Homo-oligomer: A and B are copies of this chain.
Amino acid sequence: MTLYIDKINNYIKALDTETLMALEGISSDKKYKKGDLLLQQNEICGKSFLLIDGIARKYYLNDGKEITTELYFENDLAVSFDSYTLQQPSREFIEALTDVSVSITHYRAFEEAKARFPKLVHLDLMFVEHYGMWVENRLFQFHTMTATERYLDILKKSPHIVQTVPLTIIASYLGISLETLSRIRAKI
């Protein structure tokens, strides 16, 4: 999976100058403070956010509780996938967990660029394929692993999460209560 990220990066590097220029031309940098919302619920996700620095998360409300669906670090691409794809109101929020700086690309601008530079369609495809495999893997974990196994998996593959993100958020990301996560940690 990490390999696929490399493949995407290599693809970008190998783009012709014109296409690269087009990409750069439609991106702009912006900074957010800790706690800021990059995307509100019910807002249409009309931008993608490439994290340059900081930590962010995506979450939604279920029975008044925040359920974290994704955590973003440096070089991750933050969007509400279905809202972005269908250009429909988002169920999800995107929130800065620390001060963050991002590179923003507008949906419209990217669509127009894709129409003019076909290689960007292929790039888009690669992004979506990568996300699809990531979600599939996460579903796999919920389908077959216990809470403890899921936590250990994070500890092993993404220790930076445990070091930087509050347990309350990690618990909701794992689909368990804060108390259960606390007990899992006490036991290992």
A residues at B contact (CB < 8 Å) = 3-4, 62, 67, 69, 81-82, 85-86, 118, 121-122, 124-125, 128-129, 131-133, 135-140, 142-144, 175
Contacts and interface: CB of A to CB of B under 8 A. Distances in A.
A175 B143 contact: yes
A135 B144 contact: no
A124 to B, nearest CB: 6
A187 B59 CA distance: 33
Given A81-B136, A82-B136, A133-B81, A69 B125 contact: no
A175 B142 contact: yes
A118 B169 CA distance: 42
Contacts of A67: 143-144
A69 B143 contact: yes
A7 to B, nearest CB: 9
Contacts of A121: 118, 121-122, 125
A168 to B, nearest CB: 16
Contacts of A137: 82
A81 to B, nearest CB: 6
Nearest to A139: B139
